[in-house]
Structure 1
Amino acid sequence: MEEQWRGLLYPARLPAFHRLLPPDPLRDRFRWVWIPEWDLAPGKVSRQEVLPFPALNLVVQEEGVSLSGPATRRSFRDLAGRGWAVGMLLRPAAVPVFTDDPGGLRDAEIPFHAPDLHTAVMAAMSCGAGGAGDDDDGARRRDRAASTAAEWLEARVPVPTAEAEAANRLEDLIQSDRELTRVDQAADQLGVSVRTLQRLARRFVGLPPLAMIRRYRLQEAAERLRGNTELSIAGVAADLGYADHAHLANAFREVLGFTPSGYRRSAAQQ
């Protein structure tokens, strides 16, 4: 998948990670199911650092189900022992089913009451469970878990309204148009007012439209810096609409806590 590693700052650290696309009829309600699995030696810890998508995630783990709100900065989780997670990256259209105030969940993760989802995903992930490797049994287990999660979501999240579809179009535009750097540009392309975009983002995402734009551009910058050491930082900045190298460096420091050159060095060492 083209976006397999998007948002993962150090994918080489992951013992195993998979993103599975939803059935076509559900692509307007979630972007994919993501499943990490790990089986680490005693005493070993694997820190997973993420530059999250500007979106909400519904996550099933052995201890329960949680809802993660939109993040404004990088996040991390330390993995130890043996375990897994099954998460759904929600499209904006699905968000009102889970919360009336996504902005109130910024940088937060709260328990979500869904015992039926938890029971079904636990059963799918436990059936034939072996190690964290990408064997046939593991693929079947992940497919069952993804199908179970999708069926649960389909039964609870209705077909998007016209307003919800407009929120999805906003996300699609910001994600796909790498030359988009301003909210008024997005409003012009979608044929609506800036105020309408702000309202859609507030209700369906919980972040301002400009924060969404900056997040996708920063994810793209991180991916390019990690994936192609021949690219200059100034060139990456110019390609993604930053005024210059310094503006990209400021964005990195503000959200990630380090510079583009520092990130490139640390990613190369993984």
Structure 2
Amino acid sequence: MPAAPRPRRDTRGIVDAAGLLRHVRFRRHVPAPPLRPYLEHYWLIDWDLPEPYVSHVVPHPSVNLVFQQPPTGAPSGEVAGVGLGLFRKKLEGRGHVCGAQFRPGGFRPFAPGHAVAELTGRQLPLGDVFRAVPATAAQDVTGPDDEHARVAALDAFLLRHGPVPDPQADLAMALVDHVRADRSVRRVGALARAEGVSVRALQRLFSAYVGVGPKWVILRYRIHEALERAETEAAVDWAGLAADLGYADQAHLVRDFTATVGVPPTAYASR
């Protein structure tokens, strides 16, 4: 009997991952089998803080479904499109949040009426994206103390809304997986030629199903790789890494890293 699937364990995209994990309890879970082709994982965060803490994330090219229980007030749910800049979240008091991170290209089968680019850079109430959202949806997910009950509620919500099979979504997910796994993919034109499509057709597909263009995806995964190396290696050869990631020189990597993360890579690594 095959082993049960496990969610990935890396911290790619999290700025100062060690600092975050000192302040919160962070877990990932695998969704129900019919949902796995479309989702990366579920993620759950709980905190109980004597002092406020601000987390920072360099977003993936993914849509997220987010349910949160703040320290005060009612629980809420939203659909968060691909974030273009550094995401900051202030955590204080006691609370928790439960989310579903979709594979890039995997969200539209659950909301086929929306081009994913319409969501980019935005956080929308559930009712603006999904039909017939129960009034208790946020409470159903955030209310249980048991995290497996929260996961079951996420499964139930998403299975209620799809997925609707879509070959174009399958193609978009496969293309992004190719970009993520293959460092030699450095130019949009080369990716288009390898797939036998025009650059314009590739851009239209990414706009409709991923929410950002293929060039943006290529650059974002470069920054994720650089951030992960800075987090896990004692001494990074930045010039060598720049060459590995397809940059013309180290200065271009430094510029992109600084613009995205807010500090130069050497300063980030040293702290």
**Length-normalised TM-score, structure 2:** 0.85
Tell me if structure 1 keeps the 8 A contact 2:47–2:93.
yes
Tell me if structure 1 keeps the 8 A contact 2:86–2:260.
yes
Tell me if structure 2 keeps the 8 A contact 1:93–1:160.
no
Identify the match of residue 237 of structure 2 among 232, 255, 258. Answer: 232
Identify the match of residue 12 of structure 1 among 9, 18, 23. Answer: 18
Tell me if structure 2 keeps the 8 A contact 1:201–1:209.
yes
The superposition leaves residues 203-235 of structure 1 with CA deviations (integer Å, 9 ceiling, x where unpaired) of 012211100111111111100111102221112
Equivalent in the alignment of 1:46: 53
Q: CA deviation at 1:142?
A: 2.2
Identify the match of residue 139 of structure 2 among 112, 119, 143. Answer: 119
Runs of 4+ in structure 1 deviating by more than 6 angstroms, as ranges, are: none
- Report the structure, 1 or 2, having the larger helix content: 1
Tell me if structure 1 keeps the 8 A contact 2:82–2:119.
yes
Equivalent-residue separation in structure 2 for 1:230 and 1:241 (angstroms): 20
The superposition leaves residues 162-200 of structure 1 with CA deviations (integer Å, 9 ceiling, x where unpaired) of 111111112211221122111122223333322221111
Equivalent in the alignment of 1:58: 65
Equivalent-residue separation in structure 1 for 2:107 and 2:87 (angstroms): 23
Tell me if structure 2 keeps the 8 A contact 1:94–1:157.
no
Greater shift after overlay, 161-170 or 104-113? 104-113
Equivalent in the alignment of 1:90: 102
Identify the match of residue 218 of structure 1 among 220, 223, 233. Answer: 223
Equivalent in the alignment of 2:155: 150
The superposition leaves residues 79-103 of structure 1 with CA deviations (integer Å, 9 ceiling, x where unpaired) of 1011111111123232364462432
Tell me if structure 2 keeps the 8 A contact 1:20–1:146.
yes
Q: CA deviation at 1:2?
A: 4.2
Q: Secondary structure at the match of 2:270?
A: helix
Amino acid at match of 1:20: H
**Length-normalised TM-score, structure 1:** 0.85
Q: CA deviation at 1:116?
A: 4.1
Equivalent in the alignment of 2:82: 70
Q: CA deviation at 1:252?
A: 1.1
Amino acid at match of 2:140: A
Cα 1:2/1:87, change in 2 over 3 Å: closer
Task: Return 5+ residue gaps in structure 1 as ranges.
Answer: 127-140
Matches for 1:96-245 after TM superposition, within 5 Å: 97-98=110-111, 100-113=114-127, 114=133, 115-124=135-144, 126=145, 141-245=146-250
Percent identity of equivalent pairs:
33
Equivalent-residue separation in structure 2 for 1:192 and 1:38 (angstroms): 47
Equivalent-residue separation in structure 1 for 2:176 and 2:136 (angstroms): 30
Equivalent-residue separation in structure 2 for 1:22 and 1:108 (angstroms): 24
Equivalent-residue separation in structure 1 for 2:204 and 2:165 (angstroms): 17
Q: CA deviation at 1:3?
A: 4.6
Equivalent-residue separation in structure 1 for 2:247 and 2:30 (angstroms): 31
Task: State whether structure 2 residue 259 is matched by structure 1 residue 249.
Answer: no
Equivalent in the alignment of 2:35: 26
Aligned residues between the structures: 249
Equivalent in the alignment of 2:4: none
